């Protein structure tokens, strides 16, 4: 995915932000952080890069000036329309992989992600790192 997006000067996480804003409209930055499951500082850097490139607009939320609303700009929409279809990326990445094997990989990764999320949630509730 990175190599397909490189000519457009965006990374996969930047792509996801553009995808979200294009398909679901304006989104609160904090909500986007939860969706992406990235640290606030990481998301801040990603959003700052997209704002610098003129692809995303970041404005204070009228209800809470500390929060930021993100919107895709006209330049962002133009770039989005130029980006290759992700079906191409999927085809390149998984060409020749048996469908049953791919389904197993998806199942294993989903289960692993869920276990990690549960672990992190428990760590937050308990207030400290958990032992494996």
What are 6-57's pLDDT values in tens digits?
899 998 889 989 999 999 999 999 999 888 888 888 899 999 999 999 999 9
- DSSP SS3 for 101: helix
Residue 69 region, left (φ>0) first, then alpha (ψ -120 to 50), else beta?
Answer: beta
- DSSP SS3 for 70: strand
Q: What is the pLDDT of residues 51-82, one digit of tens each?
A: 999 999 999 988 888 889 999 999 999 999 99
Q: Identify whether the C-beta of residue 43 lies closer than 8 Å to the C-beta of residue 33.
A: yes
Distance of alpha carbon 15 from alpha carbon 80, whole angstroms: 9
Cβ neighbours of residue 114 closer than 8 Å, sequence gap 6 or more: none
pTM, 2 dp: 0.67
């Amino acid at each position: 995915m990175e190599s397909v997006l490189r000519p457009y000067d965006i990374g996969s996480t930047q792509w996801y932000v553009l995808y979200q804003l294009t398909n679901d409209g304006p989104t609160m930055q904090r909500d986007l952080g939860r969706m992406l499951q990235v640290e606030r500082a990481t998301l801040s850097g990603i959003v700052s890069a997209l704002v610098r490139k003129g692809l995303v607009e970041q404005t204070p939320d009228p209800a809470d000036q500390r929060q930021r609303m993100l919107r895709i700009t006209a330049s962002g929409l133009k770039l989005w329309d130029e980006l290759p279809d992700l079906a191409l990326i999927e085809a390149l990445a998984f060409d020749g992989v048996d469908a049953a094997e791919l389904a197993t990989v998806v199942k294993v990764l989903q289960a692993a992600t869920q276990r990690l999320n549960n672990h992190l949630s428990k760590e937050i509730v308990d207030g400290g790192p958990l032992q494996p």
